[in-house]
Amino acid sequence: MTIPDTTLSNSHEPPAHLRRIAFIGNYLPALCGIATFTTDLVEALATKYSQTIFLALPSNDGTVQHGYPERVRFVLDKENIESYHQAASFLNMNNVDLVCLQHEFGIFGGPSGRHILSLLHELQMPVVTTLHTVLKSPTPEQTKTVKELAELSDRIVAMTQRGQEFLKDIYHVAKQKIDLIPHGIPNVPFMDPNFHKDQFGVEGKTVLLTFGLISPNKGLEYVIEALPAIIAKYPNVVYLVVGATHPNVIRHEGEAYRDSLIQLTEKLGVTDHVIFQNRFVSSDKLTEYISAADIYITPYLNVEQVVSGTLSYAVGAGKPVISTPYWHAEELLAENRGMLVPFRDAGAIGEQVLYLLENETKRHAIRKRAYIDSRKSVWTEVAGQYMASFSHAKEVRFEHPQPLLRSKKPSKLLAELPTLKLDHLHRLTDSTGILQHAFFSVPRYQEGHTTDDNARALITAIQLEEQEEYQHQAYELTHRYLAFLYHAFNQKTGRFRNFLTYERQWREEVGSEDSHGRAIWALGTVLGRSRYKELRGVADRLIDWSLPTALKFKSPRAVAFTLLGIHEYLKTFSGDQRVSHARRVLANRLAKSYTRTRTDDWRWFEDILTYSNAKLPHALLLCGQSLSDDSMTQIGLESLEWLATIQRSDEGHFVPIGTNGHYPRGKARARFDQQPVEAHAMVSACVEAYHLTGDDQWHAEAQRAFEWFLGRNDLNLSIYNPRTGGCHDGLEPNGVNQNEGAESTLAFLMSLLEISALESLRPPAEAAPAGNGAALTEPTS
């Protein structure tokens, strides 16, 4: 796939889901082309998308200690496999949204650089890989490495059409997975070469230039051999060779190649016409050298060079280029954008240099064509194309999640339900009530408390009261959560307030309808199920005060929550006519919303599925029984069955409606973020459907939803954390949300208590462990 150069190029705002991007690849001040490329790309992106945080993770073999800039957050120890595992954990822990890998053979450790695959296997976020080398005749090990890289990457970036073709034909990478993005270049003006010549002592000279790290495969000797014939006609010609010797060449051969070139200049009598600048120059200084060139020459000897950054820079500066026909040169210099000469042919190089010097009109026409065509490759444009690729990768991962720990299969099958563990519930609960949020498993005081969560906590505490071994804990917790609801009720407005700061200041005088309905649900649960008269007395008073307001509610969820509370209340006071009338009014309202909206392909109460969806059919199942209204029961079963169907993956696991867009009628449903509260709502509704019908279908659906917590989900990751007793705040495209807040933890605890009660009622021969077939794979962090 070729990304148009206009894609995202005019936008300076990154997609909202790309706020932290990490680059793996060499980085300046390391002396290599990949380091320069990665640094230039990152800086171009950072300039264009200033609201995104960009990190860099270079590889280092330890021979040189580089003074990396602040953007470099982690350095890979090239040959140490453990360093790659640590890097994966570092990226996962730091909530990186996407990783961009700059791949070249030789950068990473292991056979054919396979250590990097270990890192990619453990990443939880999408990966976009740029392949700087695509070999036509790879070894079997190299072929295997590239194929695995492609498999582990969400997008592959090729810089040339030939590279794209090789990826398809040799490595069998799907065309639709490949983005064609050219090598980036500085955006320099179309300048007269004489402007910068005085800086390098070549004013009045005709300058031939080659730059880049020096090594024997550069073929520089063939340009030097061509100089005598050129100088004979143009004695003011100088050949400027800019660049340090490649560090790997220095390590193994020293300066033998450079010394041989110097000896050759002496032998041919052209010493005064060849200038060696043996240093690695900055990008700014490099553009000045290029600007000073009249002709740029790449006499490289390897035909299989699929990308040359130096060639891209020279063409981008509008230089007439003479090159051997390696692959990138053939593609970039086509259509009269440059001139090609045979490999190892000094005579041909000399002829073309003389031709360009003798034909000024031709030389400037080549310059102009090269410059105009290369504008799509300036770094600002390339940055936009990369961001488009990143966004595509993220969106595809969002729509089509990949199970994480991709090299591993779920290895641990649950033989029984998890043991009830209340550590995190106690951790989140203070003297006021339950705190709303946690940072990882640490309570976040600054977020304060909510009526929503304390209502959930109160229901959980009443469920615990029914467990003999937890009665004492439940009694203390119930007092705390009930006290919060009592404090939350505003008698002036007849409404519950919702948000309370840690400093015990209410943020509003009236909370949402949903929080009010949820409070009534909790209070009704106290009245219907608690054994303690003193607790029921408080709950009764609060329901008496708060129920009249609920009769005005329009929110289907607020109505459903209220009906759940009324159902519990009437277990104790079945003769209460006022509350019975309220049930009839609200149940009819919910049923009418269904009949008004329902069609054969949309069996729901609204034109959108949002959150706590299963609570709506759950409420009508209860009301249908209590009111002996078969139509309500039928609505409850029909809508719940439809909901179960659309929340079941092709593989058979539970996929709740995502909160990032929900599911509007007639539009695409959101796959993520998946929330624990949805799984609990489904567990609870399906348990009720099973009790009502005795149909094992509903037991299976309840079990399916519960297994979502334990790892039978899109990513094969456990949402429940058995170490802390908490539950992660949802499943995201990249993995679990590592925080363990009140809503999520309570959703799991209520689900566990309800599924445990269901299993205890089933005959032993029928009861099956909820974890059967589910993988408890803890997320890496």
The 10s digit of each residue's pLDDT in 103-149 is 999 899 999 999 999 999 999 899 999 999 999 999 999 999 999 99
pLDDT value at position 279? 86
Neighbours of 256 (CB within 10 A): 12
Q: Taking the CA atoms of 470, 476, 479 and 482 in sequence, report the sign of the dihedral they define.
A: negative
Mean pLDDT of the chain: 91
| Residue-wise pLDDT tens digits, 160-196 | 999 999 999 999 999 999 999 999 999 988 888 888 8
666: three-class secondary structure by DSSP: coil
pLDDT value at position 13? 65
**Mean pLDDT within 293-313:** 92
**Mean pLDDT within 358-369:** 93
Cβ atoms of residues 520 and 543 within 8 Å: yes
Q: pLDDT-based confidence at 397, cuts 50/70/90?
A: confident
Cβ atoms of residues 34 and 132 within 8 Å: yes
pLDDT value at position 733? 86
**Mean pLDDT within 306-335:** 92
pLDDT value at position 140? 94
Packing angle, helices 309-316 and 283-291, rounded to 10: 60
pLDDT at 762 over 90: no
**Mean pLDDT within 275-287:** 84
pLDDT value at position 695? 95
DSSP strand pairing (155-158 vs 178-180): parallel
Cβ atoms of residues 655 and 674 within 8 Å: yes
pLDDT value at position 1? 40
User: Residue 231 is which amino acid?
Assistant: I
pLDDT value at position 63? 67
CA distances from 426 to 440, 501, 529 (A): 15, 19, 22
Taking the C-alpha atoms of residue 471 and residue 465, their distance in angstroms, rounded to an integer, is 5
Residue 355 CB partners (closer than 8 Å, separation 6+): 339, 362
pLDDT at 394 over 60: yes
Total number of residues shown for the chain? 781
Higher-confidence residue: 33 or 636?
Answer: 636
pLDDT value at position 12? 60
Q: pLDDT-based confidence at 776, cuts 50/70/90?
A: very low
Q: Taking the CA atoms of 180, 184, 188 and 193 in sequence, report the sign of the dihedral they define.
A: negative
Of 91, 123, 101, 109, the closest CA to residue 38 belongs to 101
Helices (DSSP H) in 694-741: which residue ranges? Answer: 696-710
Of 102, 405, 350, the closest CA to residue 225 belongs to 350
User: Residue 315 is which amino acid?
Assistant: V
561: three-class secondary structure by DSSP: helix
pLDDT value at position 725? 96
pLDDT value at position 431? 95
**pTM, to two decimals:** 0.74
Cβ atoms of residues 698 and 687 within 8 Å: yes
Of 569, 478, 525, 523, the closest CA to residue 754 belongs to 525
Taking the C-alpha atoms of residue 668 and residue 608, their distance in angstroms, rounded to an integer, is 11
**Mean pLDDT within 5-24:** 67
* For residue 401, cis peptide bond before it (omega within 30 degrees of 0): no
* Poorest-pLDDT segment among 431-435, 449-453, 472-476, 761-765: 761-765
Beta bridge partners of 298: 323
| Residue-wise pLDDT tens digits, 483-538 | 999 999 999 999 999 999 999 999 999 999 999 999 999 999 999 999 999 999 99
pLDDT value at position 31? 76
pLDDT value at position 10? 40
pLDDT value at position 64? 67
* Poorest-pLDDT segment among 65-74, 651-660, 677-686, 709-718: 65-74
